[in-house]
Amino acid sequence: MAVGYAMTKKDLQDRLRRIEGQVRGLQRMVDEDTYCIDVLTQLSSVVAALKATGMGLLDDHVRHCVRESVEQGDGDAKIEELMAAVARFSGR
Amino acid sequence: MAVGYAMTKKDLQDRLRRIEGQVRGLQRMVDEDTYCIDVLTQLSSVVAALKATGMGLLDDHVRHCVRESVEQGDGDAKIEELMAAVARFSGR
Amino acid sequence: MAVGYAMTKKDLQDRLRRIEGQVRGLQRMVDEDTYCIDVLTQLSSVVAALKATGMGLLDDHVRHCVRESVEQGDGDAKIEELMAAVARFSGR
Amino acid sequence: MAVGYAMTKKDLQDRLRRIEGQVRGLQRMVDEDTYCIDVLTQLSSVVAALKATGMGLLDDHVRHCVRESVEQGDGDAKIEELMAAVARFSGR
């Protein structure tokens, strides 16, 4: 069985590469003594991009791994694990 | 006047470099078809690290730029700008 | 079919009643000109209590409604709906 | 000295009363076995309303208490306290 996000693996990698570039952009901004509020605004965009990527991962996970486990009558552990991940991801 | 975060510039750069490494780690995890929940857990750590860095920036900004502006009887615009940044940063 | 959270309905109602009391407590604090930071700290607790309640709802929803739909080979719409709710709940 | 949010005290109370009503609305929804996703959507709105109220409190606090303390050459403790409150409020 392919992992859940196989179908969008390229999309995931593209997003992560873009995020890596944004983090390097933050380093450049700090190097050049960019005004703190502008750095913070850019940092908030990176957080948003990461969270959107996390939502994509979560979505794929539910559509594939969780669904398959439930179909095989074996969803309990997967659902438990999912909810813990959602809680961590939502920051609580 | 030095920018607000000058004193901790090295610390900021260290954190951002570590975050860049974590984002590359995420790419590796995806490449190696790591289980989605484990990728998501790692991604949640990167979000937390970015937010902690943002709190550091915010802290320095208030202690320096905002304080100086208020001391010079000119705090209004800075406070306005600060609150907008806090709202963006808190994700609303 | 009973709704998803039927089994913990009393627990849900107890939490919501407690939250209602906390919101009235906030009003009292404002009435009595309590120091803003103390009001804000209390308000942050109410937000946390609401989010914990939301996580409980989400958990029950996945364990019952989503699981049942998947078992009946009809999970697509439910999963779509779930992810939209998680996104709203996580504040993005 | 009046507390920071004195000028908008009525506005604050109005918001909190509306939020109290929304929490009672959630109890009614649960009583009537409303579909969990609809309860969760409503709960997400209450969280957003509370956070908006918190932003208002924070804003007033900075404009009054923090500014005054800084003007009196005594901003350190207030800024420390403010940043701790922002961290709690942003949920980390």
B43 interaction partners in chain C (CB closer than 8 Å): none
- Closest chain B residue to C91, measured at CA: B91
C1 pLDDT above the threshold of 70: no
What pLDDT is stored for residue D74 in this prediction?
A: 84
CB-CB under 8 Å, C27 with D16: yes
What pLDDT is stored for residue B45 in this prediction?
A: 96
D40 interaction partners in chain A (CB closer than 8 Å): none
B4 interaction partners in chain A (CB closer than 8 Å): 36
What pLDDT is stored for residue C89 in this prediction?
A: 87
What pLDDT is stored for residue A92 in this prediction?
A: 55
What does the pLDDT look like over B67-88, one tens digit per residue?
A: 999 888 888 889 989 999 998 8
Q: Which residues of C touch B (CB under 8 A)?
A: 91-92
Q: Which of D55, D75, D87 sits opposite B67 (nearest CB)?
A: D75
What pLDDT is stored for residue D1 in this prediction?
A: 35
Say if CB A37 and CB B85 are below 8 A apart. Answer: yes
Task: List phi, psi (to 5°) of B80.
Answer: -55, -50
What does the pLDDT look like over D20-67, one tens digit per residue?
A: 999 999 999 999 999 999 999 999 999 999 999 999 999 989 988 899
D2 pLDDT above the threshold of 60: no
**C68: Cβ contacts below 8 Å, ≥ 6 apart:** C1
Q: How close C8 gets to chain D, by Cα (Å)?
A: 10
The C-alpha atoms of residue A57 and residue A53 are separated, in whole angstroms, by 6
The C-alpha atoms of residue D34 and residue D47 are separated, in whole angstroms, by 19
The C-alpha atoms of residue C86 and residue C92 are separated, in whole angstroms, by 9
What pLDDT is stored for residue B41 in this prediction?
A: 95
Round the average pLDDT of chain B to a whole number and report it.
Answer: 88
A63 interaction partners in chain C (CB closer than 8 Å): 79
List Cα–Cα distances, C82 to A82, C43, C71, in angstroms: 12, 28, 16
In a mutational test of the B interface, the residue from D5, D47, D53, D66 whose CB has the highest number of chain B CBs within 10 Å is D66
The C-alpha atoms of residue D17 and residue B87 are separated, in whole angstroms, by 23
What does the pLDDT look like over B14-59, one tens digit per residue?
A: 999 999 999 999 999 999 999 999 999 999 999 999 999 999 999 9
More confident site: C1 or C83: C83
CB-CB under 8 Å, B41 with A85: yes
Against chain A, the chains showing at least 3 CB pairs within 8 Å are: B, C, D
Say if CB D50 and CB D13 are below 8 A apart. Answer: no
What pLDDT is stored for residue D6 in this prediction?
A: 44
CB-facing half-sphere around the CA of A49: CA atoms within 13 A = 20
DSSP letter at D91 equals: T
Nearest 5°: CA angle at A87, between A86 and A92?
A: 145
In chain A the first and final C-alpha atoms are separated, in Å, by 32
What does the pLDDT look like over A33-85, one tens digit per residue?
A: 999 999 999 999 999 999 999 999 999 899 888 999 988 888 888 998 999 99
C75 interaction partners in chain A (CB closer than 8 Å): 67, 70
CB-CB under 8 Å, D48 with B67: no
CB-CB under 8 Å, D62 with B79: yes
The C-alpha atoms of residue B63 and residue D86 are separated, in whole angstroms, by 14
Say if CB A34 and CB C54 are below 8 A apart. Answer: no
- SS3 (DSSP) at B11: helix
A2 pLDDT above the threshold of 90: no
- Closest chain A residue to D91, measured at CA: A91
D75 pLDDT above the threshold of 80: yes
Percent of chain C with pLDDT over 70: 91
Round the average pLDDT of chain C to a whole number and report it.
Answer: 88
C38: tokens are: 């103390």
C2 pLDDT above the threshold of 70: no
What pLDDT is stored for residue D4 in this prediction?
A: 46
- Closest chain A residue to C47, measured at CA: A92
Residue labelled with tokens 């949010």:
D5
Average pLDDT over residues D54-83: 90
**How many inter-chain contacts (B to D, CB under 8 Å) are there?**
50
The C-alpha atoms of residue D69 and residue D89 are separated, in whole angstroms, by 22
pLDDT band at B6 (very low <50, low <70, confident <90, very high): very low
More confident site: C62 or D4: C62
C45: tokens are: 């607790």
D15 pLDDT above the threshold of 60: yes
